[in-house]
Amino acid sequence: MREVPGRKRNPDPNLFSTSELALAVNLSPRNIILLCERADLPIVSGGGGSGQHRLLDITGFAKAVVIAAFADAGLPLSEGVKVANAILAYRARQLRKDLENYMSEEELVTTAFDKQSEDLFAIVYNGRHLLFKKAAFTITYLPNYMADQSNQPLRRYYVDPQIAGSVSFSDKRKFFGHLLKHARVQVKVNLSQALRRAALHMQRVKMS
């Protein structure tokens, strides 16, 4: 019986197919394709018709890592997309740079699964408030991260916006200080570690 040739492997080290991303970030190929079709993951070529090979660059790879990390932490895929959008609005350049550096590390296998002192963490409180931390320092506070933060005037931040008389604060730091003590749900992800793991998996995928 004659063999049917499979899809050619993507040889470009700086571009990533949906199947490569699926293996690297531990999401199903179907979910990666769905995210591309919804424009939640930016493709740089392909996807214009049946059988076309979608390719993503380092930006799409980094966003896929964030989405997958929060999905692994228990958030629905759609919520992971919202968190990733908020994170990339503030840290896209740094995440891309970190992922590029990890992709070039030869000894990544020794650090990929260990926590490092300078790792960046993202924490979601009560499904709506986002905080970035590195070591003991808080980098950014984002109350109601799904809203546009770029032109937000000084206003009060409510612990439970739907409940009349809810505790409120005008200072972001005090607001998050209260959340640290009283949040009902906290989802914490080590973004740096997630990037290292994905880079290691992608190194292996590219070598296979």
- Count Cβ atoms below 10 Å from residue 109 Cβ, excluding itself: 12
- The C-alpha R_g of the chain, in whole angstroms, comes to 19
Which H or E run contains 12? none
- Please tell me the predicted confidence (pLDDT) of residue 191: 96
- Please tell me the predicted confidence (pLDDT) of residue 112: 85
Closest CA to 119 of 57, 37, 189, 16: 189
Average pLDDT over residues 153-178: 75
Q: Using the predicted structure, report yes or no on whether residue 198 has a pLDDT greater than 70.
A: yes
Instruction: Read off the tokens for 6.
Output: 């499979």
Q: Using the predicted structure, report yes or no on whether residue 2 has a pLDDT greater than 60.
A: no
More confident residue, 68 or 165: 68
Label residue 3 by pLDDT band (50, 70, 90): very low
Domain boundaries, the chain: 16-207
Let me know: does 35 contact 56? Beta carbons within 8 Å: no
Q: Using the predicted structure, report yes or no on whether residue 196 has a pLDDT greater than 80.
A: yes
- Please tell me the predicted confidence (pLDDT) of residue 8: 59
Q: pLDDT digits over 126-159, tens only?
A: 888 899 999 878 888 888 887 665 555 557 787 7
Residue in the block written with tokens 């199903």: 28
Which H or E run contains 103? helix 77-104
Report the distance separating Cα 1 and Cα 76, nearest Å. Answer: 44
Report the distance separating Cα 175 and Cα 197, nearest Å. Answer: 33
Q: pLDDT digits over 75-108, tens only?
A: 999 999 999 999 998 889 999 999 999 999 888 8
- Please tell me the predicted confidence (pLDDT) of residue 1: 39
Mean per-residue pLDDT of the chain: 86
- Please tell me the predicted confidence (pLDDT) of residue 51: 52
Report the distance separating Cα 114 and Cα 62, nearest Å. Answer: 19
Q: 85: burial class by Cβ within 10 Å (0-12, 13-18, 19+)?
A: middle
Which long-range contacts does 114-121 make (Cβ < 8 Å, 24+ apart)? 114/193, 115/190, 115/193, 116/192, 116/193, 118/192, 119/190, 119/191, 119/192, 119/193, 120/91, 120/94, 120/190, 120/191, 120/192, 121/188, 121/189, 121/190, 121/191
- Please tell me the predicted confidence (pLDDT) of residue 49: 54
Average pLDDT over residues 54-82: 95
